[in-house]
Amino acid sequence: MQLSPQWIREFVAIPADDKRLAEDLTAAGIAVESINGSGENAVFEMEIGTNRPDAMNHYGVAREASAIYDVALKPIDAKLPDARGNADFAIEIAEPDLCPRFTARVLRSIRIKPSPERVARRLGLLDQRPINNAVDATNYTLWEMGKPTHAFDLDLLEGGKIVVRRAQEGETLKTLDGIERNLTPEDLVVADARRPVALAGIMGGFDTMITEKTRNILIESAWWDPATIRKGSRRYGLHTDASHRFERGADFESTVLSCDRVAELILESGGGELQGGVIDVVAKRLDLAPIALRVSEVHRILGASLDAREIYRILSKLGFDVMPERGGDADFTVRIPSWRLDVEREIDLIEEIARLYGYDKFANTLPAFAGAVIERPDAQRDAKLRSSLLGLGYNEAVSLTFISHEDAEQFSDSPVIELANPISEEASIMRTSMVPGMLNMLAYNLNRGIDNVRLFEAGQVFQAVDRGASELRQISLGATGSATPPSWNQPSRPISFFDLKGDVENLLRAFECNALCYDAHTSECYHPGRSARAVMDGVCVAQFGQIHPDVAAKRKLRQDVFIGEFYLDRLYQHGLRSVRYEALPRYPAVERDFSFIFSDSVIFEKIQQAVGALGLRELRSFVPVEIFRGGNVPAGKYSILLRATFQSGERTLREDEVADWSAKIVKALNTLGGSQRA
What residues make up the domain containing 226?
90-282
pLDDT at position 304 is 77
CA-nearest of 626, 638, 570, 553 to 593 is: 626
Pair type for strands 161-166 and 90-93: parallel
pLDDT over threshold 70, residue 510: yes
- Residue 536 sits in the same domain as residue 611: no
Q: What are phi and psi of 355, to 5 degrees?
A: -70, -30
Average pLDDT, the chain: 93
| Distance of alpha carbon 448 from the chain centroid | 24
Of 141-155, 186-200, 367-381, 662-676, which gets the smallest average pLDDT?
367-381
Assign residue 178 a region (left: φ > 0; alpha: ψ between -120 and 50; beta: otherwise): left
Domain-located, residue 27: yes
Inter-CA distances, 296 with 316, 330, 346, 348, 364, Å: 19, 9, 12, 15, 19
pTM for the model: 0.64
Q: Give me the percent of the chain exceeding a pLDDT of 70.
A: 99
Domain-located, residue 19: yes
pLDDT over threshold 90, residue 654: yes
pLDDT at position 346 is 95
Question: Strands, E, within 168-269: which ranges?
Answer: 172-174, 180-182, 188-191, 196-199, 203-204, 217-223
- Residue 552 sits in the same domain as residue 617: no
Q: Across residues 257-261, what is the average pLDDT?
A: 97
pLDDT at position 529 is 87
pLDDT at position 87 is 87
CATH of residue 453: 3.30.930.10
Domain-located, residue 604: yes
Pair type for strands 196-199 and 2-3: unpaired
CATH of residue 336: 3.30.56.10
pLDDT over threshold 80, residue 384: yes
In sequence order, the 6+-apart residues with CB closer than 8 A to the CB of 327 are none
Domain-located, residue 365: no
DSSP 371: S
Which amino acid is it at 645?
T
Domain-located, residue 77: no
Of 173-187, 222-236, 242-256, 357-371, which gets the smallest average pLDDT?
357-371
pLDDT at position 306 is 87
pLDDT at position 615 is 93
- Residue 269 sits in the same domain as residue 339: no
- Residue 404 sits in the same domain as residue 461: yes
Q: Among the three residues 360, 387, 411, which one is the final residue of a domain in this structure?
A: 360
- Residue 508 sits in the same domain as residue 440: yes
Q: Across residues 119-146, what is the average pLDDT?
A: 96
pLDDT over threshold 80, residue 16: yes
- Residue 117 sits in the same domain as residue 215: yes
Domain-located, residue 57: yes
Sign of CA dihedral 249, 252, 253, 258: positive
Task: Report the b/e string of 440-467 with b at 16+ CB within 10 A.
Answer: bbbbebbeeeeebbbbbbbbebbbeeee
pLDDT over threshold 70, residue 367: no
- 625 and 593 Cβ atoms separated by less than 8 Å: yes
In sequence order, the 6+-apart residues with CB closer than 8 A to the CB of 613 are 668
- Residue 431 sits in the same domain as residue 325: no
Q: Give me the percent of the chain exceeding a pLDDT of 90.
A: 83
Q: Across residues 5-17, what is the average pLDDT?
A: 96
| Distance of alpha carbon 139 from the chain centroid | 31
- Residue 557 sits in the same domain as residue 612: no
Q: Across residues 414-428, what is the average pLDDT?
A: 87
Domain-located, residue 75: no
- Residue 118 sits in the same domain as residue 154: yes
pLDDT over threshold 90, residue 402: yes
CATH of residue 649: 3.30.70.380
pLDDT band at 80 (very low <50, low <70, confident <90, very high): very high
Q: Across residues 155-180, what is the average pLDDT?
A: 95
Of 152-166, 203-217, 355-369, which gets the smallest average pLDDT?
355-369
Sign of CA dihedral 523, 528, 531, 534: positive
CA-nearest of 608, 577, 571, 592 to 659 is: 592
Spatial separation of the C-alpha atoms in residues 229 and 211, rounded to whole Å: 27
Query: In this predicted model, which residue has the larger pLDDT, 585 or 106?
Result: 106
| Distance of alpha carbon 225 from the chain centroid | 22
pLDDT at position 254 is 96
Q: For the chain, how many structural domains are there in total?
A: 5
pLDDT at position 316 is 95
- Residue 248 sits in the same domain as residue 151: yes
Q: Among the three residues 282, 310, 335, which one is the final residue of a domain in this structure?
A: 282
- Residue 225 sits in the same domain as residue 325: no
Q: Across residues 309-329, what is the average pLDDT?
A: 89
Q: Among the three residues 513, 539, 571, which one is the final residue of a domain in this structure?
A: 571
Domain-located, residue 82: no
In sequence order, the 6+-apart residues with CB closer than 8 A to the CB of 87 are 104, 105, 106, 275, 276, 277, 279
Q: What are phi and psi of 180, to 5 degrees?
A: -80, 125
- Residue 463 sits in the same domain as residue 496: yes
| Distance of alpha carbon 213 from the chain centroid | 47
Say if residue 237 is exposed, middle or buried (CB neighbours under 10 Å; 0-12, 13-18, 19+).
exposed
pLDDT at position 559 is 93
